[in-house]
Structure 1
Amino acid sequence: SGAEDVILKPTLAWGTVAGAIGYDFELADNPLFVMPMVSLTGDMARLITPFYQQVTTLDYSTYYYWRAKAVSADAESVWSSAVFMTMAEPIPEPEPEAEVWMCSEGLTFSSRAALEAHLATAEAHQPVEPADIVVVPPDIIVPLPAETPITPAWIYVIIGVGAVLIIALLVLIVRTRRVA
């Protein structure tokens, strides 16, 4: 249709076709529909309404091409196509420059009243010496890590004797089977 200044999430609509059970739809950023951005075609993806609502935001100032065709139980129409251009990116309004008031101490204020209030309180109050800061560490008791007990040597002796006895038992079993 050649519309311009279209919003970034448009609803694209077309006329209903009598006897249509659905509509195939494609949206692309090129007129040949090479790798369309949206392709709702075929039995599983076909639209049942004569419109499509764009879900994702399109780019500013970009031409987009879309096409639709009606599908009935035994026939399909030819593609009807249209083109539109999205709106231009809005230019942000510049913020007005704020008036700034400064005192002899180098402090800045947004209004004359704030500056005068500061000067009035500065004259009324003499500088005060800052108090000494004392840091008192909290009493925290950290338990020592548990020591792993050392395994006594007699445990290793028992394991070694057990291993020798098992090997001897296996040797006896093998020898007695050969004899029989």
Structure 2
Amino acid sequence: MAGGGPGRGARDDEFLEFAATRSSHLYRSACLLTGGDTHLAEDLVQETLGRMYAVWRTGGWRPGTKRIDNPAAYAQGVLYRLFLSHVRRRSSTERPVGDLPDRAAPAGDSSLRVTLIEALARLSPRDRAVLVLRYWEDVSVEETAELLGASPGAVRTQTSRALTRLRALIGDALPDLALR
């Protein structure tokens, strides 16, 4: 890259390595957040990596802020904020078709997994974000609160309510599915 100054090529190589190792994890999280919308998940991951690259190019420094010590956690936070920003847009509820034709689940997906993903898709975006962060990503209440811009108490309350909603959506099918 012309005019990039010393170290720019090394930073680019480091970013490419980071992107290669983290993109599949980001994609799985994005798929859960979007309720299985793989196209939106891909868009969110690309936007996350684009924003990460902008920060990475500068060496992780921004005026008035500190250096990013954990790029993976920072990328997860960017992904969640992008997702919540997307669902706030009016156009996020538009759908080109009503229902897609049924298709076979990929090999290896169990009924439990499919049921959980479908139930997650029926939750509100904020509920999905809290549950995915807390139980899929295994993020602490405090870190979840920081990522979502809420208090730890609000995260605990929202987690409890989201789990109640999820249980209501799944109903009595969960014990039967878990035994398979």
TM-score (ref. length: structure 1): 0.18
**The structure with more radius of gyration:** 1
Between Structure 1 and Structure 2, which shows a larger proportion of strand residues?
Answer: 1
Q: Whose RCO is larger (CA < 8 A, sep 6+)?
A: 2
Between Structure 1 and Structure 2, which shows a larger proportion of helix residues?
Answer: 2
